[in-house]
Amino acid sequence: MMMICESEKLDDYILELDEVNYSNPIIKAKVEELFNPSQTEIEKVKVAFEFVRDEISHSWDIQGKRVTCIASDVLAYKEGICYAKSNLLASLLRSQGIAAGFCYQRLMLFDTPEKGYCIHALSAVFLKSLNKWVRLDARGNKEGIDAQFAIDEEKLAFPIQEKYDEKDYPVIYVKPNTKTIAVLKKHTDALEMYKNYLPESL
């Protein structure tokens, strides 16, 4: 799929945002732990991606009720849904001057169209050394889901099933979608939110 950048300025994709708060002390401490000067850009992206994918639990997978949103809270509580996890991954990467944006898919919420749809968040990262954007999905692996760090051929969590009206949105956004942030801020029970209130389209 041809990706479309919302902004032509790469610097826009390293800006600190309310939700991508990499100046926060807890983010800074994790950055010190994850990264070192000897790592290449690609190594840093892989380390950050695998940390968020594997060490931050997806709320639905653990049936956790806590709702997290801003990157520092996601890291502090080590849980969140895809919207929250993409905020954390962007925060870690942007702290290193690595451009990271937000991408979305429209997916069936569960296993049939009758059970509804949701917007799913993933990340796009610009690899300067290769002069290309790659999409990565740090939602967390489990049985049936095997997202990996991949440069040449995407290995995302969810293949799009067009016959069920699922879709890939091609835009790489500078900021998280306002609908996704609004739903996180409005709710206090992640399971109730996940089942009933996730946005269905951008």
* Reported pTM: 0.98
| Residue-wise pLDDT tens digits, 26-49 | 999 999 999 999 999 999 999 999
Structure tokens at 102: 């937000």
In order, the DSSP letters of 47-92 are HHHHHHHHHSEEHHHHT------SHHHHHHHTEE-HHHHHHHHHHH
pLDDT one-digit tens code per residue, 98-139: 999 999 999 999 999 999 999 999 999 999 999 999 999 999
- Beta strand 171-172 with 4-5: parallel, antiparallel or unpaired? parallel
Tokens found for residue 53: 């994918």
CB 135 within 8 A of CB 111: no
pLDDT at 32: 98
Q: What is the pLDDT of residue 1?
A: 84
**Residue 185 token pair:** 């801020």
Instruction: Please report the pLDDT score of residue 140 as a whole number.
Output: 98
What CA–CA distances, in Å, run from 62 to 57, 59, 113, 115?
Answer: 7, 5, 24, 21
DSSP state for residue 96 in the 8-state scheme: T
Q: What is the CATH number of domain 4-196?
A: 3.10.620.30
Q: Which helix (H) or strand (E) is 119 found in, with range?
A: strand 117-127
